[in-house]
Amino acid sequence: MAAQSSSRSSGFRSQARRPTTIVAKSKVGSYIPPARTSMRSFSMGTALRPGASSAATAMAAEPAMANGLTVSEAAEKEPSSGPMGLSLAKQYDHFVESWGPVAVAKWEAMAGKERNRQISIYELVRTELGYVRDLQAIIDGGYNPLSLGELMSDDELSAVFSNVTVLYVMHAKFASSLETEVYKASPFASGVGALLADFAPNILVYSIYANDYPSGSALFASVVAERPGVREALSGDGDSDGARSLQSQLVKPIQRMCKYPLLIREIRKASRSAELADEAALLDTAYEAFSEQLDRVNAHKLAAERQELAVALVGRMTASAVASLELERRLAEKRYVHHGVLDKITSVAKGSYQTRMYVLFNDLLIWFKAKGKGELDDASTRLEFCKSAPTRNVLVNDVPDRTDAHAEMEHMFSVAVNGKDYILRAPNAETKFTWLQHLFEAASVQEASQKKRSFANRKDEWKVRDRERVRTGVSAAAIIELERGLEGATESQAGTSKK
């Protein structure tokens, strides 16, 4: 593919300038606007077209306010700079002034809290419009040239760009609704709570992007390093480092989804007056929904990162270790929790120890030694299996730091496995307590899970006995007594035969 990069790149440039519509090759089929086309020419509602004001017809009764800027036009005329609060206030002042003296008089008469509310809503809408431009930049500057140039396979494009086209369509519609509905009659926002509450459930699609981003980002970095044609295609607009620009753009969706609760909270803080009670309730609903969805997205992202770590660790293990633990087959059943290098103390008096790599899954603690002379911290060093223990059989205890001649024996804790104690030493107190926390939690979860399984098994036994009682007319208590008698008779018979 690298050898063909030059011809494909030049072919891409001629195609990219054609005003054609491209259909995304993503996980969810979705529309991508024409390549090399500015956002303003892609229809997202009248508010995004140059010179159009969604309020122009609605404000016919107040001609002094009929020629105001849209939020996107106001933001572009005075881009953010310096402290956000000062720059944002200036932008909003400019936005209000563009609507004429009636708007300015109303603004000057407003109380401080209502002013803060209007500025906070303006910030939400302004940044949402900017975010849509970022998403279109990813599509126009990254996805389109790489897909048209055939420099990456469909699977690679899907891994790197995930469902960014779905995000674009979703947020383009939301941004249009914000600008046309919230500012439909004046520069003073109204009805933002309802729009946010309705939009909040949609953010769950970010779990897909968040899951794909870590591996997609790593894949993109390797593709850029190995294929000159990719770098050339991404520099088609004269950007000498288009690949780096795209890499920084790809993190924008992760950053944006974290900002919604903060933006909504600021609006809610300034919406405490009695006349805004209904609006405040909607904002509370939106805040809770965004926060809940964000927690889910973070959980998905954390789980995906942990799974990648687990796969990487298994990749470092020797074939015999993988075979004996059956980790490749059982990895999907396990949840990676933590890993790190610790010293296993072999003699406190002599100060001797062995350095080992410990890997903790939700139900299993494993430790390895380095194969050969490599360092355990080195990702290229193979790991040779030493021992494993189910977490339900592991007893963990803190070990006080020594104050005698062996003062170097600090940051220690003990792990008891099947009656044998292992003294482990961490490099520092923070690492020690992190291990203690994870081990205690893993053991507690496994104990609770075992009790739950045991209870479930007993319930199944009771159900069987109940069915037997109904079938035979014998009480459950009588069945239990009968079973006990049979067990006793069996034991007595076994004892007689032994004699």
Name the domain boundary from 414, 442, 470: 442
Three-point CA angle 444, 445, 449, nearest 5°:
120
pLDDT at 448: 65
Domain count, the chain: 3
Check whether residue 392 and residue 295 sit in a common domain: no
pLDDT at 134: 95
Check whether residue 471 and residue 425 sit in a common domain: no
Cα–Cα distances (Å) from 475 to 12, 455, 456, 484, in that order, read 81, 21, 22, 15
Instruction: Say if residues 270 and 117 touch (Cβ distance below 8 Å).
Output: yes
Instruction: Say if residues 462 and 468 touch (Cβ distance below 8 Å).
Output: no
Name the domain boundary from 395, 425, 442: 442
Task: Decide if 198 is inside a domain.
Answer: yes
Task: Decide if 339 is inside a domain.
Answer: yes
Contacts for 220 with CB less than 8 Å, ≥ 6 apart: 160, 246, 247, 250
Average pLDDT along the chain, 499 residues, taken 10 residues at a time? 38 31 35 33 31 36 58 68 59 86 90 91 93 95 86 92 95 93 85 92 88 85 86 70 84 90 93 88 92 82 74 80 65 78 89 91 89 86 88 87 75 89 92 92 72 60 59 57 61 51
Total-model pTM:
0.57
Task: Decide if 16 is inside a domain.
Answer: yes
With both helix axes pointing from N to C terminus, report the angle between 112-138 and 242-250 in degrees, rounded to the nearest 10. 130
Check whether residue 151 and residue 83 sit in a common domain: yes
Cα–Cα distances (Å) from 457 to 179, 374, 481, in that order, read 58, 48, 20
Cα–Cα distance for residue pair 387/364, rounded to 1 Å = 11
Cα–Cα distance for residue pair 370/316, rounded to 1 Å = 10
Check whether residue 435 and residue 328 sit in a common domain: yes
* Residue-range definition of the domain harbouring residue 149: 2-309
Contacts for 434 with CB less than 8 Å, ≥ 6 apart: 338
pLDDT at 425: 94
CATH code (residue 281): 1.20.900.10
Task: Decide if 315 is inside a domain.
Answer: no
Check whether residue 154 and residue 65 sit in a common domain: yes
Task: Decide if 314 is inside a domain.
Answer: no
Check whether residue 270 and residue 354 sit in a common domain: no
Task: Decide if 409 is inside a domain.
Answer: yes
Cα–Cα distance for residue pair 51/47, rounded to 1 Å = 9
* Half-sphere exposure at residue 362, Cβ-oriented, CA atoms within 13 angstroms: 16
Check whether residue 294 and residue 402 sit in a common domain: no
Q: What is the CA radius of gyration of the chain?
A: 32
Check whether residue 394 and residue 485 sit in a common domain: no
Strand partners, 361: 336
Name the domain boundary from 254, 285, 309: 309
Check whether residue 86 and residue 137 sit in a common domain: yes
Check whether residue 375 and residue 348 sit in a common domain: yes
